Amino acid sequence: MRRPGITCTILVTFAAAVALLACQTDPADDVAIEGEPDAHHEESAEGHEIHWSYEGDTGPAMWGSLDPSFAACDDGVRQSPVDLTGAVAGGESELEIRWQPGDAEVVDNGHTIVVNVAEGSAISLEGREFALLQFHFHHPSEHTVEGSAAPIDIHFVHAAAEGDLAVIGVFLEAGEADPTIQSIWEAIPSAGESPGALAALDPGALLPEGGSHYRYPGSLTTPGCSEIVSWVVMTESIAVSQDQIDAFAALYPMNARPVQPLNERTIELRQ
């Protein structure tokens, strides 16, 4: 079900050009982009707010029944996250990451911490262009490998002009402290404060060195679970300190959707 009001409300929080493009091109249904600012209450087609969470009566097992626009959370056949075990060797990478440093703002939207980035960073995936809008965090990681989650993962959310998304996942493991993560954590606003500002934030500093990654077709991992996402999950992780993990866990003890059935999909491993 299309929700034009929400689509444009969401998109104006992103770079102006992206907003214009996306609002004009009639993006795919239910473009409630995960990690989007003010997404604590999704708005239904009728305009009322829908509370969802990671536990209890409004937790992941209930998402599909909270609102008709969340139906894909129950009925979908290519849902995310998944366990990435059993990936088969794919072809060439066909992934080119062209991110650049820029101003950013840090928002706590009630589901996660979101870093909205300046216009100008993009990727090319299988010859299609996707603009980087924002990235955000899950604790523990949503994707797993052989049943194991990392302490945290980052999802870098990109949108194509046609409205579909490409999300790059990066696992964060315990090790040395990461200065970029530190700068983001220090910019997290307290309740009621305006977004934290970061100058010259370099998202590329949060990429692991190797380019090998898992690839599969999936969905948003938050309601309405829209099946519009080309997933890229880097096989290598980056290190953050246990203190940095603990600092995020203090804000979000659990904000990961459980893994979903793979069904007929194949996970590819690209080098």
Token pair belonging to 118 = 């300046």
Residue with tokens 């609002």: 23
Q: Return the closest-CA partner of residue 134 out of 151, 144, 121, 143.
A: 121
Using CB under 5 A, which of 3, 139, 143, 155 touches Zn ion? 155
**150 vs 199, which CB is nearer to Zn ion?**
150
**26 vs 267, which CB is nearer to Zn ion?**
267
Q: Rounded to the nearest 5°, which phi and psi values hold at 138?
A: -125, 140
Smallest gap from residue 237 Cβ to Zn ion (A):
16
* Residues 240-259 interacting with Zn ion (rule: CB under 5 A): none
**Site size for Zn ion, by CB under 5 A?**
2
**16 vs 217, which CB is nearer to Zn ion?**
217
Among 6-14, 33-41, 202-210, 211-219, the segment contacting Zn ion (CB under 5 A): 33-41
Q: How far apart are the C-alpha atoms of 209 and 17, rounded to whole Å?
A: 31
Residue with tokens 């938050």: 222
Among 10-18, 55-63, 147-155, 177-185, the segment contacting Zn ion (CB under 5 A): 147-155
Token pair belonging to 206 = 């949060």
**21 vs 165, which CB is nearer to Zn ion?**
165
Residue 199 has a CB neighbour count (10 Å cut-off) of 9
Smallest gap from residue 138 Cβ to Zn ion (A):
5
Collapse the DSSP code of 267 into the 3-class scheme (helix H, G, I; strand E, B; otherwise coil) and give the result: coil
Using CB under 5 A, which of 11, 13, 33, 34 touches Zn ion? 34
**193 vs 245, which CB is nearer to Zn ion?**
245
Q: Return the closest-CA partner of residue 170 out of 74, 234, 250, 242.
A: 234
Q: Is 136 a catalytic residue?
A: no
Q: How far apart are the C-alpha atoms of 269 and 10, rounded to whole Å?
A: 33
**157 vs 187, which CB is nearer to Zn ion?**
157
Phi/psi zone of residue 116: left (φ > 0), alpha (ψ -120 to 50 degrees), beta? beta
Smallest gap from residue 222 Cβ to Zn ion (A):
7
Catalytic residue among 40, 41, 48, 111: 111
Among 10-18, 29-37, 75-83, 94-102, the segment contacting Zn ion (CB under 5 A): 29-37
CA–CA–CA angle 242, 248, 250 (5° rounding): 100
Smallest gap from residue 34 Cβ to Zn ion (A):
5
Residue with tokens 């009001």: 5
Smallest gap from residue 231 Cβ to Zn ion (A):
10
**If binding is defined by CB under 5 A, does position 3 make contact with Zn ion?**
no
Residues whose CB is less than 8 angstroms from the CB of residue 43 and which lie 6 or more positions away in sequence, other chains included: 3, 5, 6, 49, 50
Smallest gap from residue 171 Cβ to Zn ion (A):
13
Residues marked active site are found at 111
Q: Which residues bind Zn ion (CB under 5 A)?
A: 34, 155
